Every structure is written in C-alpha cells, then in structure tokens.
Structure 1
Amino acid sequence: MTDVVVRKFLLRIEEIFHEGGPVSANPPRRGTIMAVIKNPYAGRYVEDITGLMEDLKPLGLQMSKRLLEALGGDASAIEGYGKGAIVGEGGELEHGALWHVPGGYAMRELLGEAKAIVPSSKKVGGVGAAIDIPITHVNASYVRSHFDAIEVNVPDAPRADEMVVILAMTTGSRVHARVGGLAVADIKGEDGLR
C-alpha cells in the first residue's frame, strides 16, 4: 500500500454564454479538478505498479465529489466527462495510466453508473505543461454535440517527482453545437455508444 501524498488541488469552473453566436438561454458549465500528487515511482523502473490504482481510488472519489459540488451538486445535470494525467519528467507514461480506473470509475459511480467509457489523455511533461482533456457524453460516446476538450495546466507542476491527475465534467454540449449526429434525446443507453 502506497500513501497518496497530495501537494495541492486546483478547481476551475467555466460558464460559456456564447462563442460569437447568440447568447445561450442555458449556458453550459465546464469544470475541472486537478490534484498534484507525489509519484512514488519517479526516478526508477518498477515492474508491478498496479497497486497504486487501488490506493488512488479514494482520491478519485473525493475529486469527483468536489467537482460535482462545484458544478451545482446535481448528478443528473452532468452530461459530459473526461480525465487525464500529466506525469513529471522523473516518471513514465505508464504511471499516468494508473489514473484510468480510480478517476473514471469514481465519476461513473457518482453519476449513477454512467454508461460511456470516460475518455482520457496522458503525457509526460515538465512544470507548467498543458494537456487537453477529451470530453464525451456520459451515456453515449456517439453524441457528436458533446465531443469537446478542456485544456488545463498547473503553473508550478508537475515537478519531476510528481503527477497531476485530472477530472472534468460538463453540464451540456458545446455552446453552439449544430453539426448533427446522434441527439441526446435519441440515446438508447444500452452500450455506452448510442
């Protein structure tokens, strides 16, 4: 068992009224929460790293709850989600992959067993590195109006021996979505795709 050491959290909420078109009657909100954590594997190769996934589960749930609360606290209002990780230079890309289960399953559980896979991105980067967190609809990945991304970074992280783990949620589609595809009203909700 590895202690998860958090240096800090960052929480950001956006409310988007328009992107040059008409002002939305129901402006979508997009939120991210990031935790800067110590990477216990930085600076060395460790063959079996999977135990950290279990240790990260409480953090995933804590972050999911904090982000949901910042977006109003109503799980039924969340329509999109995504996750990601930036691994400091002393680590490796596979360390970021440890966030898939703790981050994704925590959001799905909190949102009432959302059906779609939680999209993800990860990278190795230095202090201040930015990453795009992909977003899809929580119950049907083919809902084109919800294809989106949120760029995030932490100005003083990740240091070489740290990771930044990230969760994102949205309350709607892109503000002026109008390119067709599967509509939210037509979701069957059987397989996480349609």
Structure 2
Amino acid sequence: MDLIAIRKIATFVEEERHEFGPPPAAPLIRGTVAVVMNNPYAGGYVEDITPLMETLKPVGKEMAARLIAAMGKRPEEIEGYGKGAIVGAAGELEHGALWHVPGGWGMREVLGHTKAIVPSSKKIGTLGTSIDIPVHHVNAAYVRSHFTAIEVRLPDAPRPAELVYVLAMTSGARPHARVGGLEAGDIKGEDGQR
C-alpha cells in the first residue's frame, strides 16, 4: 500500500504594502503551501508510524520549492518560516507530529542557510478548520521583529481520514516592527537562537 495519496495542494501568497505609518521600502511577502493527503494511519492505533516521516521528505522539499517560487523570491531572500498540521477526526495528534522532520528538513534543504528551529503547530480538525502557523526568523529564534503567524484554512479539508500539512514563509519582518530585542542584523548564527 502506498503511504501517500495527495488530493490537492493549495498555495497562498500575499503582499503587504502598507500597515499604517509610512509605506515600507519593499512589500512584505508572506506565503503558505498546504498539501491535503490521505492519513494511512487513520481509524485505529498503529504502533510504528515513523515510516511516513521518511516518505514525506520529498513532499516537504517539493512544497518548499513551490512556495519560494510562488513568492517570487530566491532562497536567500526568505527570512521567516514555520510549519503546521491539521489531522482529520479519524486520526490522532501524533499523525500531525510526523510533519516535524520532513517539513523542517524540506525547508532547510531548499533554503540552504537556516539555523533556527522551525516553529510548529498542530491540531485535530474537521472540514474548514483553521490553523495559525507560527513564524520566526530562519537563523535566530529570538529576533522579535519576525514573530508572527499566518492563518491557513481550506474549506474542504481535512476529511476524517486526511492530513493537511502546511509550510509558511515570509520575506522579512513585520511592517514597522519596533518592540526591541535582537535585530536581524545582529544575529551571530551560532546556535539558532541568537
């Protein structure tokens, strides 16, 4: 049995050109890509679910490449990232946790320059369930200017035996970020935190 059967891929990109105050020099580009697929472990308890993680790695990599292209950016222009999962009602939260490795690995493979852990969220849901994907700086988790979230919602997913896996990226900080803390230009890049 094939572990993966993708029903659909949804990509969303937005361009923020103004946020009160003066217009920024360049718009902030924010994007998400979501894959809706079968949950091979839905409907009952399966002890070893880890085979799906390895099978998902090429999916994560393809999604990351697709999102960067949709955003019209080069990998080195991506400054923020995050990931998440919505598990249909016939699955368990742990099926969403399977996305930690392939989602993060896929983005790191395509971006090629990241050091910070990829923030994540997961939940159980039904058709139209929304999820907020946390985002922070790709090289230093403590850069406050890049703390944000992007909401994702697909009206027809997840069905009970489906999974929705999501990647999110941004091209920069929040418009007019001014709450202090570590500046992106001051990142040391030694531990993914500072």
Task: Please confirm whether the aligned pair reaches a TM-score higher than 0.5, indicating the same fold.
Answer: yes
- Cα deviation, residue 7, structure 1: 0.3
**Counterpart in the other structure of 2:185:** 185
What letter corresponds to residue 117 of structure 1 in structure 2?
Answer: I
- Cα deviation, residue 17, structure 1: 1.3
Cα distance in structure 2, aligned partners of 1:191 and 1:56: 27
Cα distance in structure 2, aligned partners of 1:186 and 1:176: 18
Match status 1:145 vs 2:126? no
**Counterpart in the other structure of 1:171:** 171
- Cα deviation, residue 176, structure 1: 1.7
Cα distance in structure 2, aligned partners of 1:57 and 1:113: 18
Q: Comparing 108-117 with 92-101, which one deviates more in the overlay? A: 108-117
SS of equivalent to 1:110: helix
**Counterpart in the other structure of 2:31:** 31
**Counterpart in the other structure of 1:62:** 62
- Cα deviation, residue 113, structure 1: 3.8
SS of equivalent to 1:124: strand
Moved runs in structure 1, 4+ residues, more than 2 A?
Answer: none
Cα distance in structure 1, aligned partners of 2:19 and 2:56: 37
Match status 1:72 vs 2:58? no
Q: Contact 1:129–1:153 (CA<8 Å) still a contact in 2?
A: yes
**Counterpart in the other structure of 1:156:** 156
Cα distance in structure 1, aligned partners of 2:94 and 2:2: 17
Structure 1: unaligned runs, 5 residues or longer: none
**Counterpart in the other structure of 1:133:** 133
Cα distance in structure 1, aligned partners of 2:170 and 2:157: 24
**Counterpart in the other structure of 2:86:** 86
- Cα deviation, residue 24, structure 1: 1.3
- Cα deviation, residue 21, structure 1: 2.0
- Cα deviation, residue 19, structure 1: 2.1
Give the alignment's TM-score, normalised by structure 2. 0.98
What letter corresponds to residue 101 of structure 1 in structure 2?
Answer: V
- Cα deviation, residue 15, structure 1: 0.6
SS of equivalent to 1:58: helix
**Counterpart in the other structure of 2:11:** 11
Q: Contact 1:18–1:176 (CA<8 Å) still a contact in 2?
A: no
SS of equivalent to 1:54: helix
- Cα deviation, residue 175, structure 1: 1.1
Give per-residue Cα distances to partners, 1:145-179, cap 9 Å, x unaligned. Answer: 00000011100000000010000010001112111
What letter corresponds to residue 20 of structure 1 in structure 2?
Answer: F
Give per-residue Cα distances to partners, 1:46-67, cap 9 Å, x unaligned. Answer: 0110110001111001101100
What letter corresponds to residue 48 of structure 1 in structure 2?
Answer: D
Cα distance in structure 1, aligned partners of 2:88 and 2:148: 25
Q: Contact 1:131–1:153 (CA<8 Å) still a contact in 2?
A: yes
Cα distance in structure 1, aligned partners of 2:84 and 2:41: 18
Give per-residue Cα distances to partners, 1:94-153, cap 9 Å, x unaligned. Answer: 000000000001101211141000000000001000000000100000000000000111
What letter corresponds to residue 85 of structure 1 in structure 2?
Answer: A
Q: Contact 2:76–2:113 (CA<8 Å) still a contact in 1?
A: no
- What is the aligned-residue RMSD (CA, Å)? 1.0
